[in-house]
Amino acid sequence: MSDSTTSPDASFAARLAETAGRIETALAALLDDRQRDHEIARPGRLLAAMRHGALGGGKRLRPFLLIETARLFGVAQEAALPAAMAIELIHCYSLVHDDLPSMDNDDLRRGQPTVHKAFDEATAILAGDGLLTLAFEVLADSEAEASIRADLVLCLARASGLAGMVGGQMLDLDAEGRHAAGTHRHPPSAGDVRRLQAMKTGALLTAAVEMGAILGGASFGQRMSLSTFGQALGACFQVADDVLDVEASPDVMGKATAKDADANKATLVAALGLEAARAERDRLAMDAVGALRRFGPEADTLRAAARFAATRTN
């Protein structure tokens, strides 16, 4: 069958949407206003801001990758759900903080006012902090075996922090020339951009597949292959974002576009030009698929995810 309703990429989109619905429901339950036994209170304004940052949109690609990787090893979606929620909570926190006036100063995210616009800046900072810490609470409180939980916490913490996403964000600000005393030379080379993007965006996407591999008890070799897949997919996803900033409309993206050049952002489009950035995006998607060669058809959804990272429109 070759009609569009049954093509691998159409069934990928349906599967991604289905998992997104499942994640939305699970996060909504986690962030409901019912005070838990161990809690003194759930401050209403903070909870509302956390819900605004975490619910009502987003592709939920990181939890999807985690769940699909765990599925390779026979792990049921239900068992992967706490880790999937945890990685999405980290991602949502990073978006809330990334949008702040002192960072990217964005008014629109996922087609809605950003958290500091809907609430205020201090509340948005606290909402990000709340989502970040809740991620680790969810992981630590899950029913996975203790050594698996510890591995998951380690993997997520490393990917999110100093030498991962937060570090990459720092290098990004540095490359924009924000700090007079910044150590970055200008303009950043393509290598500089690739490194900061591997940290800012790639580390968390790689952690998604690594956490799925941890849950599944993958062998060292399997985990290495999946990690290589995640790194290529993460880089592909970010170059695609750089290209979309030039090519896509704000309506489709649900956020402002055409901002990178004005903001002096370190992107591969700036470092290499649009054509070469597109070529790198497509090559990275092929590299990601190539990294899965040891797996059979059970990894076809991950292969489709790599193609999605390159061809996505938002």
Alpha helices in the chain (DSSP H): 8-30, 44-54, 61-72, 77-98, 115-118, 121-140, 146-160, 165-175, 190-197, 203-216, 220-247, 250-253, 268-272, 274-290, 300-311
Question: For residues 79 and 164, what is the distance between their CA atoms, to the nearest angstrom?
Answer: 26
- Per-residue contact track with ligand GRG, 40 to 79, x per CB under 6 A? ------------------xx-x------------------
Asked whether position 97 contacts ligand GRG by CB under 6 A, the answer is yes
Residues in 251-310 at the binding interface with ligand GRG, rule: CB under 6 A? none
Question: For residues 203 and 159, what is the distance between their CA atoms, to the nearest angstrom?
Answer: 5
Asked whether position 169 contacts ligand GRG by CB under 6 A, the answer is yes
Q: Which is nearer to ligand GRG, 61 or 144 (CB)?
A: 61
Using an 8 Å Cβ cutoff, are 104 and 173 in contact? no
Smallest gap from residue 220 Cβ to ligand GRG (A): 29
Question: For residues 260 and 266, what is the distance between their CA atoms, to the nearest angstrom?
Answer: 8
Q: Which is nearer to ligand GRG, 95 or 233 (CB)?
A: 95
Asked whether position 110 contacts ligand GRG by CB under 6 A, the answer is yes
Asked whether position 176 contacts ligand GRG by CB under 6 A, the answer is no
Asked whether position 201 contacts ligand GRG by CB under 6 A, the answer is yes
Question: For residues 176 and 173, what is the distance between their CA atoms, to the nearest angstrom?
Answer: 5
Residues in 212-241 at the binding interface with ligand GRG, rule: CB under 6 A? 238, 241
Q: Which residues pair with 113 in a beta bridge?
A: 108
Smallest gap from residue 165 Cβ to ligand GRG (A): 5
Which residues contact ligand GRG by CB under 6 A? Answer: 58-59, 61, 91, 94-95, 97-98, 103, 110, 165-166, 169, 200-201, 238, 241
